[in-house]
Structure formats: C-alpha cells, structure tokens
Chain A
Amino acid sequence: MALFSAAGLAASRGGRRLFQGVGFALEPGDALVLVGPNGSGKSSLLRLLAGFGRPTAGIIAWDDGDIRADLDEYRGRIQILGHADAVKPALRVGELLAFWIALAGAAATPGRVDAALAAVGLERLRETPCRFLSAGQKRRLALARLAAYDRPLWLLDEPSVGLDTASIASLAGMIAEHRERGGMVVLSTHQDLGLADARTLSLADYPAVETGDQDWWAA
C-alpha cells in the first residue's frame, strides 16, 4: 500500500504510442528517476502524473485512490517544475516568489521569501527585476519555488538543465532535505544528480507495442 503509485500506465502523443505498462510505487522519502532517450515520453509521463491529460490506460493513485477522483485536492499536494520557468520579466524576483507562495495558499512573509531565495543562492537579487536574470538564474528562481512552500510530491522535468555544478549540488541538497522530511520526488534527468538510493525507471523498458488490435482502424 504505497502512498503514491502508478500501474499499467500507457500514453500516446499525436497518435503515436509512447510507452505502456509503466508502474511504480513510492513511499514517503522515496525518489524515482526517469531515464530514457529523447522522445521516450519522460515529459509526457510527468505531465500525466501531475494530472494534465489522461493516460490511455492505467491508473495513478494517491493513498490508493485514483487522483482523478479529486484532482484539485491532489494538485494541492504536488509541485511541478517543467521546461518553462514561469518567470515574468516585469516582476521583481522577490515579488514573483511572494506571489507563488500566496497562490499556494501560504502566508508570503518576507522571511519565507528570503529563506527560499537563500536556498538557491539568489538572496542578493531579491529586488532585481526578472528580466535582468540569466537563464541559469531564472532556473534557480524556479527551483526556489520548491523550497518556498511544502508539498509532499515533487515532479521535476529535467531540473538540472541550465544549472552550473554548484547549483546542481544545491538542487541535490534540496531534494535530499525534502526526502528527509518525508517528501517524494519523481524526476527526469540525463545527468547523474547523485541521489542516495534513488530508484531508476527506464522508459526504454516499456516500449509501446502496436497490438494490431482487431479494431476497425487496422482493418
């Protein structure tokens, strides 16, 4: 009875089957690393896990209940980091983070904002407009959101892209800390982040087979 699990997941994109039969089970403190070649469906799987889109088969469950039963409640438990950083050039670094904290339903106190910025080494840029940030700094600001408020499940799509070695180390530190607090993380990466006893799921092991089902389409 795992807290977060998936079974028999299959997905397709643009009419092409990506993978099928994917399953895993995570307990508090677990980490799952998704690997696979480009186009194997890592991003699609992460989006499915976040409740965006429906799998063509299979089930995703939180505490043994289908996440689709109450998607809003489930989404209150997760944090996602996608390819886009969701950084607004016109806002200041501190304003943006305070906005995200308020939107998550937490109190956006200055101390909280500072602590989250410090976690990614951006504390001195608090009043800087985001349009002055480099790509790496924008990425770190997006990571600061993870530290800014507490959600038990992190879904990270290529979190290390655009980060320097030091930032990757602090990302690994944030993930370790999150897991110590009982958090779970599912992430895709091409890079070894050095996560302690993380499980690996290779999507190449779940190739989609055109079943040649007896449907009207194939006839």
Chain B
Amino acid sequence: MNAFVALVHRDLRLAFRQGGDGLMAVLFFVLAASLFPFGIGPEPQLLARVAAGIIWVTALLAALLALDRLFQTDWEDGTLEQLALSALPLELVVLAKCLAHWLVTGVPLILATIPVAVLLNLDLHELPMLLLSLLLGTPILSLIGGVGAALTLGARRGGVLLSLLVLPLEIPVLIFGVAGADAVLAGRESQAQFLLLAGMLAAALPLCPFAAAAGLRQALE
C-alpha cells in the first residue's frame, strides 16, 4: 500500500514539476471543442443538441494525448525494470500509473467541461448528468489507455498506433457516456446508462491492469 501511494505520489510530482501533460490535454479539449461551432454552424439549438457528444468525443481524444508516455519514459530510463523488482505486483504498478494519469488529465478535463458546456450552449439541466458520466467514464479511458500504452511500448510510431488500438475499444464508453448525459434532454431515465458505465468501470479496474501488466512483461523480456 505504501509503495502504491509512493508511486502515485511520484507520478503526480513529476507531472506537476514538468508541467504540461494535464494542461495540454485541457487546452486541446477546449480548443478542439470550440472548433465545432465553426464546422457545423453556431445555431444555439443545433449546438445544444450535439454538445454532449462533442464534449465526450473531444474529451476522449484529449485523454489520449499524453498516453503514449505513460510507461515510455520509465521504460527508457530503466525505471520500469526497477518497478518490476519492487514490492508491488506489476498489475498494481499499472493501476497506480493509470490513477495518476486520471488525476492529471481526467479530473482537469471534467472541470474544463463546465466552460466548454457554456460555449456549446449545453442545456444546464444536462450539465450535472454530463459531469457524472465523465466522472464514471474518464477513469475507464485511462485504464483502457494503459493497456494500449503497455502494448505499444517500444513500437515505432507509438502515439498514432496507440490511438488506433484504443479508440475502437473505447466506443462502448462513448455510447453510454453520451446517452447518460443526453437522456435528460429526451426526458428519459438515465439510471441504466450510469449503472452500465459503473459496471464497465468495475470490470475495467481488474481486467485492464491485468492485460497491461502482461504487455509490460513482454516489453521487459
């Protein structure tokens, strides 16, 4: 447990000292989302109808930005081997790093959703539901992303390849995330969507670190 906290703490410290990753993701998110009115036109009704979808898709892409470096730097400087020798099983190493990734990118993205929602004329009744769906969904993105990052470790063109692998796997999260937020608009119950999202998170929590750790073991051979 100590070792787990130490690893999360170190990753947060590195992220804050080196700055960048979380901030870049948020900036990308805000910028990309504000491109949409230029692309599809500024009519408030149209924007309000697609706002949740735009926010979810851009958040999903923004969360991918820093992912290729999740294990890369540790792998290059020999830290990953030391992590493999630590008191933590590799599965927990992955979980700690995904948690740190979520705290650094996922949480700022959720906060940045509020101004972006205003820009896109999102119905304010929908905002709490959207935030809740992101709160449940973004950790899954970090976990699935962790699998992709582990599998592409040391690959040529790691970043693009990572997106190619991870995006199809994230479609269910996108579907239920947007549906959960949009249900309010259509006057539907949204409990089922949130339960499904929570269920996916519960499944991803053990499965993704397991797969990612298998990937890391291969990378270390």
Contact = CB atoms under 8 A, between A and B. Distances in A.
Judged by CB atoms under 8 Å, the answer to whether A and B touch is yes
A105 B86 contact: yes
Contact of B14 (A75, A82, A87, A91): A91
A86 B86 contact: no
Interface in A68-107: 72, 75-76, 78-80, 82-88, 90-91, 95, 98-100, 102-105, 107
The listed residue with most B CB atoms (<10 A of its CB), out of A72, A85, A86, A145, is: A86
Interface string B1-45: 011011101100110011000000000000000000000000000
A102 B17 contact: no
B87 A103 contact: yes
Interface residues of A, number: 30
B221 A103 contact: no
Contacts of B76: 84
Interface in A26-58: 50, 52-54
Contacts of B89: 72
Residue among B2, B84, B85 having the largest count of chain A Cβ atoms under 10 Å? B85
Given A91-B13, A91-B14, A102-B3, A83 B86 contact: no
B191 interface: no
A103 B86 contact: yes
A104 B86 contact: yes
Contacts, number: 76
A90 B16 CA distance: 10
Interface in B73-94: 76-79, 81-89
B5 to A, nearest CB: 8
A133 interface: no
A118 interface: no
B99 to A, nearest CB: 15
Contacts of A99: 6-7, 9-10
22 contacts: A50-B81, A53-B220, A54-B221, A72-B89, A75-B84, A82-B78, A83-B78, A84-B76, A84-B78, A86-B77, A86-B79, A90-B13, A90-B14, A95-B13, A99-B10, A102-B2, A102-B6, A103-B83, A103-B86, A103-B87, A105-B87, A108-B6
Interface of A: 50, 52-54, 72, 75-76, 78-80, 82-88, 90-91, 95, 98-100, 102-105, 107-108, 145
